[in-house]
Copies of this chain bind each other. A is one copy, B any other.
């Protein structure tokens, strides 16, 4: 019964978060396949581990054959800590009390039409959630960052000046710098967040071409003559008027023919498909005053209103995110 499954769905989040924190998936990958063995490896009770592992089978993360647990292919790829594609850290942002508690009273959120957390939701200056975002979400963004660097032609090596707005973990700008040795990146974000981006730039060996620009994207002077301005996971936080104000500033900072590169969840015009992109509207309803998951026609209109010549939508499979490339 869908009602019963859905009203209990919070337990899915909680169980997955707990399993990641206990490192259950790595324990199974290491060859522990019975609940007593997994419990011993993860230092838990046997009863708790049995019920958790059975639940993880029910919700699709594990297999169970004759009492032995195994990883599905996706679980082995994304949730075994030794996998290069490990994304388990993302629970620290996506299942953080800050986000989860924001949904305690959806009726109140819907009445108001926006988040009920604080004056500006997670948009408060230097809100600590964005440091956690930068650390926790980096692994989930590694693949799209790579794909975007290639999509926009970074490997061709043209001398690019890149502005990475709301850089966060910094991965999108850093991927361009790695693929294009002639690119320099200006990374803009709150000062506390930029520390994370600078750590990542150092790990990638591109610190010399990666300069921090601390502050709010709405207040800080961008400079000009940019070839590429990155707008990744950012515009969804604001209403269209606020986005257009920012996009006019972006347009002014680009050199002629320069491109704004937007990475977003872009639902179809029906706003209910594909599911992951369309459901992102609920994330914005609960955590922002007026943000949304915008459709391509809405992005196209915003960019045209801000002075851009034209925009193109590019899927980025297997990511549920898509790229909008807008030319000045």
For the complex, is A48 an interface residue (Cβ under 8 Å from B)? yes
| A45 CB within 8 Å of chain B | yes
Contacting residue for A285 out of B42, B48, B97, B113, CB 8 A: B48
Instruction: Determine which of B42, B90, B279 lies in contact with A58 in the assembled complex, contact meaning CB atoms within 8 Å.
Output: B279
- A315, CB-defined interface residue at 8 Å: no
CA distance A21 to B202 in the complex (A): 50
Selected from B3, B15, B58, B90, the residue in CB contact (under 8 A) with A74 is B3
Report whether A13 and B16 are in contact in the complex, using a CB–CB cutoff of 8 Å: no
Q: Which chain B residues lie closer than 8 Å to A57 at the CB level?
A: 272
User: Which B residues lie within 8 Å of A320 (CB)?
Assistant: 1, 4
Chain A contact surface mostly: helix
Residues of the B chain whose Cβ atoms lie less than 8 Å from the Cβ of A19: 106
Indicate which residue in B103, B279, B290 contacts A10 across the interface (CB closer than 8 Å).
B103
Residue contact B2 to A110, C-beta cutoff 8 Å: no
A325: shortest Cβ distance to chain B, in Å?
24
Measured between alpha carbons, how far is A12 from B12 in the docked complex, in Å?
Answer: 10
| Residue among B55, B91, B276, B286 making CB contact with A279, cutoff 8 Å | B55
Measured between beta carbons, the chain B residues less than 8 angstroms from A18 are 105-107, 109-110
For A11, A44, A105, A272, the residue with the greatest tally of chain B CB atoms inside 10 Å of its CB is: A11
Instruction: Assess whether A152 is interfacial by the CB under 8 Å rule.
Output: no
Which of B14, B106, B285 is in CB contact (< 8 Å) with A17? B106
Cβ of A79 < 8 Å from any Cβ of B? yes
Closest chain B CB from A253 CB (angstroms)? 30
Q: List 16 A-B contacts (CB under 8 A).
A: A3-B16, A7-B17, A9-B13, A14-B103, A15-B282, A17-B107, A18-B106, A19-B106, A43-B111, A52-B282, A52-B285, A54-B281, A55-B282, A58-B273, A58-B278, A58-B279
